[in-house]
């Protein structure tokens, strides 16, 4: 693995894997913390982080120049499709639910990340 991949693309891959793993946990196995009562805020925060590292990864990859040149639009589209697939995945996970309001919170986090990324673009590490 190159240093560029480790610092530019791997965080997005790890974030996507972490979201998938967390979505695979059956509902009865999720601890009942008071923090989880802020469900939509947590959705937005998780997808903010995911979208931001994804945008960084797309901007600083070299294999597909189109993705790099259009990282903002492609990143928002990819992150939104991933959020849709995540909510669909939760529909089939025991004792989990798939809600449009969760998806809305995910997309809000993605759009906020896109705005921050647009205003403060990252440099390659």
What is the per-residue pLDDT for 99? 86
What is the per-residue pLDDT for 44? 95
From residue 81, give the alpha-carbon distance in Å to each of 26, 37, 87, 119: 22, 25, 10, 23
**Which pLDDT band holds residue 24 (cuts at 50, 70, 90)?**
confident
Task: Calculate helix-pair angle for 39-59, 100-119, nearest 10 degrees.
Answer: 40
Distance CA 110, CA 60 (A): 19
In which residue are the tokens 């070299």 written? 62
Give pLDDT tens digits for 26-49.
755 555 655 545 788 999 999 999
Distance CA 75, CA 70 (A): 8
């Amino acid at each position: 693995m190159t240093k560029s991949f480790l610092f530019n693309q791997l965080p997005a891959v790890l974030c996507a894997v972490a979201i998938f793993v967390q979505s695979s946990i059956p509902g009865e196995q999720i601890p009942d913390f008071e923090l989880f009562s802020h469900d939509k805020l947590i959705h937005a925060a998780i997808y903010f982080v995911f979208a931001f590292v994804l945008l960084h990864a797309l901007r600083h990859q070299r294999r597909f120049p189109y993705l790099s040149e259009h990282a903002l639009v492609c990143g928002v589209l990819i992150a939104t499709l991933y959020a849709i697939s995540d909510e669909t995945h939760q529909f089939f996970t025991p004792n989990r639910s798939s809600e449009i309001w969760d998806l809305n919170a995910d997309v809000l986090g993605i759009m906020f990340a896109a705005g921050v990324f647009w205003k403060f673009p990252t440099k390659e590490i």
